[in-house]
Each structure stands twice: as C-alpha cells, then as structure tokens.
C-alpha cells in the first residue's frame, strides 16, 4: 500500500518552486550605471535596502546619490577605517597607526566639502578618546588567531553572486571554531533588545552563509563589536583642548558603556531557516529587478526617518531628483561592478 501523503498547500508548492535555481531574464530597461544582477551579484546592503523600500533600492541601483555629505555617517565610517588599518597592522606585525596624523588628514579632506569646523572638531575629539581606549578594552584582539581582516568574499549561492567584505574572521583558540567579527557604531545600545535582534540579524547570517560556502567550513557565530558614540557636548566656554581633557577623565571610567560586544552563536536550525528565507528573497528580488524594478510599494514612514533619515527623503518629498547626481560607485569598496 502506498503511504498516505498530505495534500500540499498552494503556498508550499509555490515555495518549492522558489527553491529551484534562480533563472535570470534579460533586463527590459536600462537599470542604472551598469548594474546587472546576473553579472554583478548582490550585497547584503542591496537586499536589505530592497526589503526596506523598493524605491530607495531602485534609486541606489540606478546610481543616484545625494550631493550633500551625510555627516552623521562620517563618525562610524572614519572609526571603521581606522580600525581596518590597525587590525591589518596587527596581523602583519606592522607599526601602530598614528591617530593624530590620521585625524588631521581626514579633517583636511572633509573640510573641503563640509566646512563646519565645530562638527569636525567635535568628531575628532570623540574619536581620539575612543581610539585611545578601544585597545585598552579589547587587548585580547592582539592575541586573536586572525584568519583575515577586511577580506572580500564573492561566492555563488543558488546561482547568484553574494558579495561583501568581512570586518574580521578568526579561530577560537580553545575550540578551533571559526567566528566572524563585525563592527558597528551606535548612539545608544539597549542590551536586551540588541541581543534578541542579533539572533536573526540579516547581515550576520548573510556573511555566515557566504563564508561557509567559500570555506566549506562551519562558522560558529559572530562577535558583534559595538562602539557607542559619547553624547558629551562642548561647554559654552570650553576649548576643544579642555573638552578633550574632560572626556579623558570620564570615558576610561566607563569603558563597558562605550565598547560593547555580543558573542552571537548561530546553530544549524537558525542557519537553515535563514537559507530558506534568503532563497525566497533572491527569488523575489530577481523577479523585481528584471521586471523594470517597479516600485510596487514604498516604505512606511519608519524607514524614511529611521535611525538616520533616508538619503532619498528629499527626492520623495519633492518628487524630483534635484540635489542628487548619478555616480558609478556601486559596490566600490568591493572593486566595483566587475
């Protein structure tokens, strides 16, 4: 007798279809600088932007960028660049970087496009203080068994190139297992909600999936490395020198507040669940991309304003691209569209 099988629902049949390899179609319209999904693949940030707002993703893929500088993002990106240099120096046994030299170089450059001395000086003081304390808090990073820092990945997954850059990858000395290091800058951290959210963090799981595909080895989890921006303000009669001295007294007394790490392990069940989710996302993204990138819906107001306002807020508000320009910088940090 044949075993009885339950009738499969329409939904499960549809999902089964999606497990099949992604089939690329010819784009019907010019989609921006030169981007093509089949040729250039995707990054986690493209997919996350697409999930958050189809319209923002369409603008980004077409190369639209705001002509103004997003100064709120500068803090994180500068600190990130400094860490990149320093971690590379650590693994290559090279000289430590000179923070004053780096900050002066950065400020000269940024002041050309953003002539606001106060904001720039404020950032320099806070970054210098954080920098002087980061490796006091995380001295174990000097002894970690690094496999690589700031390494690009580019792997085929379900027929699609997954691309990105890992902040760090290391081997746990006790267990021999692989872990990723991912660094972010925040203004504030709620440890409870953050540790819950990280358990299903899209970027972490995307990077784990890609790294396991690349190395054919299990990645145990992610060491999520958070730097919290100090909220202190320059006093009315204070000079920047005095401001720096004040922070120099207070920040080292509270290092656990400014440097927070979460060790987030990802088990087999979680990773399998993510892969199914990723397959569905790639299926629908492919469908959207090769069907004129119709902005079937735009974001809710939550994404428009979010932690930092969407860079296309003005475009949506004015229904025009005045104040925007088209650039060819998509995936620039990964070597561009190649």
56 vs 181 by CB, closer to ligand SF4: 56
101 vs 297 by CB, closer to ligand SF4: 297
Size of the site for ligand SF4 (CB under 6 A): 11
103 within 8 A of 120, measured Cβ to Cβ: no
At 151, list the tokens. 């390494």
Contact pattern from residue 315 through residue 334 relative to ligand SF4, giving x for each residue in contact according to CB under 6 A and a dash for the rest: -x------------------
> Does 312 help bind ligand SF4 (rule: CB under 6 A)?
yes
CB atoms < 10 A from the CB of 248, how many? Answer: 14
Within residues 281-310, the interface with ligand SF4 by CB under 6 A covers: 298-299, 303-304, 310
Tell me the three-class secondary structure of 96-112, residue by residue. CCCHHHHHHHHHHHHHH
> Does 65 help bind ligand SF4 (rule: CB under 6 A)?
no
Helix (H) or strand (E) run with residue 229 in it: none
- Report, in Å, the least distance between residue 308 CB and ligand SF4: 11
57 within 8 A of 31, measured Cβ to Cβ: no
- Report, in Å, the least distance between residue 312 CB and ligand SF4: 4
At 29, list the tokens. 């319209």
Please pick, from the candidates 42, 55, 281, 293, the single residue that binds ligand SF4 as defined by CB under 6 A: 55
56 vs 169 by CB, closer to ligand SF4: 56
CA 184 to CA 308: how far, in whole Å? 14
Pairing between β-strand 42-43 and β-strand 160-171 as defined by DSSP bridges = parallel
Helix (H) or strand (E) run with residue 304 in it: helix 301-305
> Does 49 help bind ligand SF4 (rule: CB under 6 A)?
no
Contacting positions for ligand SF4 (CB under 6 A): 53, 55-56, 298-299, 303-304, 310, 312-313, 316
């Amino acid at each position: 007798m044949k075993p009885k099988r339950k009738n499969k629902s329409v939904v499960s049949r549809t999902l089964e279809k999606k497990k099949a390899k992604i089939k690329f179609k010819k784009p019907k319209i010019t989609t921006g600088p030169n981007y093509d999904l089949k040729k250039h693949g995707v990054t986690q940030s493209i997919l996350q932007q697409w999930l958050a707002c189809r319209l923002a993703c369409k603008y980004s893929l077409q190369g639209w960028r705001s002509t103004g500088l997003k100064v709120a993002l500068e803090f994180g990106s500068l600190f990130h660049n400094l860490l990149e240099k320093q971690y590379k120096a650590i693994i290559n046994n090279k000289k430590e970087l000179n923070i004053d030299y780096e900050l002066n170089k950065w400020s000269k450059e940024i002041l050309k496009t953003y002539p606001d001395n106060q904001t720039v000086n404020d950032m320099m003081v806070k970054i210098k203080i954080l920098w002087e304390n980061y490796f006091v808090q995380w001295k174990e990073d000097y002894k970690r068994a690094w496999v690589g820092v700031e390494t690009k990945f580019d792997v085929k997954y379900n027929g699609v190139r997954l691309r990105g850059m890992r902040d760090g990858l290391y081997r746990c000395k006790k267990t021999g297992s692989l872990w990723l290091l991912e660094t972010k800058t925040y203004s504030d951290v709620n440890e409870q909600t953050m540790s819950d959210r990280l358990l299903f963090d899209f970027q972490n799981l995307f990077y784990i999936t890609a790294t396991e595909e690349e190395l054919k080895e299990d990645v145990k989890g992610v060491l999520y490395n958070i730097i919290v921006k100090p909220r202190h303000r320059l006093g009315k009669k204070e000079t920047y020198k005095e401001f720096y001295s004040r922070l120099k007294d207070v920040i080292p007394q509270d290092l656990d507040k400014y440097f927070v790490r979460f060790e987030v392990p990802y088990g087999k069940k979680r990773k399998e669940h993510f892969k199914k989710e990723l397959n569905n996302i790639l299926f629908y993204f492919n469908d959207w991309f090769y069907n004129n990138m119709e902005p079937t819906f735009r974001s809710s107001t939550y994404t428009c304003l979010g932690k930092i306002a969407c860079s296309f807020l003005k475009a949506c508000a004015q229904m025009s691209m005045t104040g925007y320009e088209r650039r060819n910088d998509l995936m620039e940090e990964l070597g561009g569209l190649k």
